[in-house]
Amino acid sequence: MFATDDTIVAVATPSGRGGVGVVRLSGADAVAVAGRLTGRTSSFVPRHATLAHVVESVNDGVLRTVDEVVVTSFSRPHSYTGEDVVEISGHGSPVLLERIVTLAIHAGARLAEPGEFTFRAYLNGRLDLVQAEAVRDLIDAVTPVQARVAMDQLDGTLTTAISRVHAVLFSLIAKCEASLDFPDEGFHFADPREIATSLEAIGLELELLLGTSGRGRLIREGRVVVLAGRPNTGKSSLFNALLGRDRAIVTDVAGTTRDVLSERVDVHGVPITLIDTAGIRVALDAIEREGVRRAEEARSAAEIALLVLDGSVPLGEIDRQLLSETASTARVIAVNKCDQPRAWDPSDEPWAVDVVSTSAATGEGIESLRTKIVHELSMGVVSHDMPTITNIRHITLIEAAQHSVVCAQRALQQQATEEMLLIDLHEARHRLEEVTGRRDVDDVLRHIFSTFCIGK
């Protein structure tokens, strides 16, 4: 997929203007290319910052300064990619950085493809595949919790857990293979009771890992929450309160919101898309009818409905209708305007467990509402003692490994031969090796690294 015997170059910092921009070189000629760029004949001291000037040749071989830079070199294998790496830190002008890259290409480097630096780190054993994917997630993180989970995976927490299971599987496979290789010995290397105990432990470990996937994907991908209710219950005010700023227009006129309004917000570290919709009622005109239709469409597509009721007036027919329609779906009920006299008591209702009392005007109950939303989405909080699985590829492969372990347990109960048992054990082992990249598949690697940004 990538050539790995040449030297690559790319801008490693985001596009746009900034105080500092970094151009990264990696490969056998990285130091030589940096020397040609700066006109230096002496080598750079590894892991030491060196002030230099990037120069280019103009008429009659006269050298002209392009930028004043700081050059830092990293000798293999003690670098991000495991190769010789040079990072050139210059002024953050896109024009200057692009010029440095062009000069580096003229000096013998090649423009890097997206993800090529991290791919080389993977090939050179600096990262496994889980950690490489964590690099991408860390770059894409928009909440502190997303960044923390990605950093945990980059530190190898998931790799360690999978390696632990893989080691037990490998031991079982070795014992079963030994029994096949030495059939005339007076004993079996693989005792059925020992195998059963090990398979049970493996199954439990995989189940615990998969148990983190719901909240893990929630943290990584986020969810959509739609505010629904009849007009004048305070949906837009609550929408603004959850955002922490005035985004939706709020008036006393019923039907102010006529279209779908969406905003992304960090709720306890979970990226949530909040959608404010038109109030549900019998529409008075074509525009409002379309708004109500879009509101119902958004509610049906959302992971959770935030049903807003007005606690200062009696429940109406539309309120009861919405309560009935959302009874079998994931929902949170906000009884709004709790700063005003109550017209009814939510505790008397059978759905009281879903209720949070709020006041968009005073801010009362808003934090409790945020907590309730995240709890409903994640179905509780997972243990921090276990690594969190966030990637659908990991989930799919671990589920496949778990299925093979179940098949092995079934074969053992049916007193199958070692040959039959080994089929399932090898399959489980292969699926786990695909997670970390110990058993790579070219099209999987191509897909993963093609989603990286250039320069990483």
List, in order of start, the domains of the chain with CATH numbers: 8-128 (3.30.1360.120), 139-212+387-437 (1.20.120.430), 219-378 (3.40.50.300)
Whole-number average pLDDT of the chain? 81
* pLDDT in the model for residue 206: 92
Q: Which two tokens stand for residue 81?
A: 């990619």
Taking alpha carbons only, the member of 323, 317, 313, 375 closest to residue 349 is 323
Whether pLDDT at 250 is above 50: no
Whether pLDDT at 258 is above 50: no
Residue reference for tokens 């709790």: 338
User: Is pLDDT larger for residue 263 or for residue 77?
Assistant: 77
Distance separating alpha carbons of residues 276 and 262, to the nearest angstrom: 6
- Least confident range from 67-81, 244-258, 380-394: namely 244-258
Band (pLDDT 50/70/90 cuts) for residue 290 is low
pLDDT (tens digit per residue) in 404-419: 999 999 988 888 877 8
Sheet hosting strand 18-26, strand order edge to edge: 49-57, 63-74, 85-92, 18-26, 8-11, 110-111
Band (pLDDT 50/70/90 cuts) for residue 448 is low
pLDDT (tens digit per residue) in 185-220: 544 666 788 888 889 999 999 998 888 877 777 777
CB contact at 8 A, 272 and 398? no
Band (pLDDT 50/70/90 cuts) for residue 421 is confident
> What's the average model confidence in pLDDT over 289-311?
68
pLDDT (tens digit per residue) in 64-96: 888 999 999 999 999 999 999 999 999 999 999
CA separation, residue 224 to residues 297, 325, 327 (Å): 13, 18, 18
Bridge-based pairing state of the strands 85-92 and 18-26: antiparallel
Instruction: Give pTM, 2 decimals.
Output: 0.69
pLDDT (tens digit per residue) in 317-336: 888 888 888 888 788 888 88
Whether pLDDT at 2 is above 80: no
DSSP β-bridge partners for residue 201? none
